[in-house]
Amino acid sequence: MTHRLSSRFAALKAANRAALVTYIMASDPDHETCLEILKGLPAAGADVIELGFPFSDPMADGVSIQLAAQRALKAGGSLRKTLELAKRFRATNADTPLILMGYANPVESMGYEAFAQAMHEAGADGAIIVDLPPEEDGPLRAAFAAHDLSIIRLATPTTDEKRLTKVLEGASGFLYYVSVAGVTGTNAATHEAVRAAVARLKGATDLPIAVGFGVRTPEAARAIGETADAVVVGSAFVDEIAAGGEGAAKRVLRKVRELSEAARSARAKEGQPA
């Protein structure tokens, strides 16, 4: 695991607070606005940044992120542009972990070794490749190992014990729990279901557990932050960009602050100030 991810999660654990992981799509609505948002994220309370790279067929995503990908592609977004944005962000921020998220085809097309090399040069810390299950990510794993990059794996409500073992083989950074069987940004899981799932996952791994899919409100972030190590929010931010206009960056960062405060305060009531 890279130093940035492990030290960030270690610090959060010491402070007994949940992390906010923020997702935005690279080059949405354009390169410069995206960079402006990226640069503002740490101060607004993002503990880990997920930067999506656009693909025309995002089959695990709901409408919000589908449209974000289309806007990004229209604005000239690509995997290379995404890496360039990551690099420009890293020049301004040395500590905040940044991971890329997207689909296998752009990566396969670039080549796994070239991708890992470019990630390393950009100062990115890891990646989630949605449609590369453990059975298919061998080449990525090999390339990432050579550059000390994390492969973040997904567990879902359909992941049973046996499957979880497979998912955890070679996983690093954190484990991303997809809290609903569905696409991003639509239905939300019940708090009880998330609590039970997080407990189960914690029994199987020491990796931090991040929970995402369908998390849009401070209330949901707070509830998840009680048990999970991190809360992942994406569509809610992307929707602020979709609304368009001049103030997109400001609106996104305001929303990040709101959700960050919720995640930070999740465990405060247990008597330990965040």
> Looking at the annotation, which residues are catalytic?
50, 61
Whether residue 150 contacts residue 126, with contact meaning beta carbons closer than 8 Å, is answered with yes
Task: Note whether 55 binds other proteins by CB under 8 A.
Answer: yes
Is 209 a binder of other proteins (CB under 8 A)? no
Residue 90 beta carbon to other proteins: minimum distance, rounded to whole angstroms: 22
**Contact yes or no for 102/79 (Cβ under 8 A):** yes
| Rounded-to-integer distance, Cα 190 and Cα 42, Å | 29
Residue 25: how many CA atoms within 13 Å on its side-chain side? Answer: 33
By CB under 8 A, how many residues form the interface with other proteins?
49
| One residue of 40, 157, 204, 250 binding other proteins per CB under 8 A | 157
Q: Which of 6, 16, 33, 70 binds other proteins (CB under 8 A)?
A: 70
Interaction between residue 158 and other proteins (CB under 8 A) = yes
Displacement of CA 69 from its chain's centroid (Å) = 16
Site for other proteins in 90-149 (CB under 8 A): 103-106, 108-111, 130-133, 135-136
Phi, psi of 66 (to 5 degrees): -60, -45
Determine, following the binding rule CB under 8 A, whether residue 78 of this chain makes contact with other proteins: yes
User: CB 67 → other proteins: shortest distance, Å?
Assistant: 9
Contact between 174 and other proteins (CB under 8 A)? Answer: no
Instruction: Report how far residue 20's alpha carbon sits from residue 17's, in angstroms, rounded to the nearest whole number.
Output: 10
By the 10 Å C-beta count (0-12 exposed, 13-18 middle, 19+ buried), 110 is classed as: middle
- Tokens 């809290």 locate to 179
Chain contacts with other proteins (rule: CB under 8 A): 53-60, 62-63, 66, 69-70, 72-73, 77-80, 103-106, 108-111, 130-133, 135-136, 153-160, 163, 167, 178, 181-183, 186-187
